[in-house]
């Protein structure tokens, strides 16, 4: 996973992941946490398409925090991810990475999966079924008068670069409100979901990149 690895992971983790176990911990996940995640995933998969807007807050040791705005349009394995100076589009066969500041597009085969080159917002949908992680209710409280549940996810692999991840769910609608990753080097990454529209009408060509729309664009075709 070489393109926007953290962002891709956060978007996917917001709705669940799949994977193979690499740890040997006997710690068990909290069934209540798993039930909440399953409801969220069932609802997400019951819709044909999604449009999500979000803010990504980045906190790095010794640096001032920064926030980037982004959006995701997704249908199955097809998606368009737009954040800051990058645009990633995939039709499930090809991935286009457009670098806005350089007016350059890099074209790759869509190699999704745990060992693949890229990660799509659907690749890792069933994390709660995986034994790579342990899930538990961290806290149940209120935000702005609404009940929320915070679920913590800890990797079993002691060599993971992340110490834990925390998912905040708005209880009455079973919707992801916020997702935060805690890295072992002290970095913090928080994705705040601002808007989520389901079953959106998609225009033809949504999941294909048209270089003819960009004057003097640099095209780097890396497909085999």
Does residue 174 form part of some domain?
Answer: yes
Query: pLDDT tens digit string along 12-24?
Result: 444 333 333 333 4
Spatial separation of the C-alpha atoms in residues 161 and 181, rounded to whole Å: 10
Does residue 188 form part of some domain?
Answer: yes
- Residues paired with residue 195 on neighbouring β-strands, in sequence order: 53
Q: Identify the pLDDT of residue 100.
A: 96
pLDDT score of 114 more than 60: no
Spatial separation of the C-alpha atoms in residues 187 and 182, rounded to whole Å: 6
Does residue 145 form part of some domain?
Answer: yes
Query: pLDDT tens digit string along 38-89?
Result: 888 888 889 999 999 989 898 999 999 999 999 989 898 888 989 889 998 9
State which residues form the domain around 185. 5-200
CATH of the domain at 145: 2.50.20.10
Q: How many domains does the chain have?
A: 1
């Amino acid at each position: 996973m070489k393109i926007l690895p953290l962002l891709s992971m956060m978007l996917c983790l917001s709705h669940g992941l799949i994977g193979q176990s690499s740890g040997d911990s006997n710690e068990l996940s909290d069934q209540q946490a798993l039930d909440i995640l399953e409801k969220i995933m069932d609802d997400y998969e019951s819709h044909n398409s999604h449009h999500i807007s979000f803010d990504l807050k980045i906190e790095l040791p010794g640096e001032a925090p920064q926030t980037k705005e982004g959006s995701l349009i997704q249908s199955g394995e097809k998606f368009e991810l737009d954040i800051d100076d990058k645009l990633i589009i995939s039709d499930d066969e090809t991935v286009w990475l457009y670098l806005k500041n350089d007016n350059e597009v890099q074209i790759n085969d869509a190699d999704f999966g745990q060992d693949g080159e890229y990660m799509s917002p659907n690749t890792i949908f069933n994390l709660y079924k995986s034994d790579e992680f342990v899930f538990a209710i961290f806290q149940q409280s209120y935000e702005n008068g609404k009940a929320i549940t915070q679920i913590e996810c800890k990797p079993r692999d002691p060599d993971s670069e992340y110490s834990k991840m925390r998912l905040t769910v708005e209880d009455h609608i079973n919707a992801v409100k916020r997702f935060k990753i805690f890295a072992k080097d002290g970095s913090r990454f928080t994705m705040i979901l601002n808007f989520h529209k389901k079953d959106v009408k998609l225009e033809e060509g949504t999941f294909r990149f048209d270089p003819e729309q960009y004057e003097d664009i640099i095209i780097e075709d890396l497909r085999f």
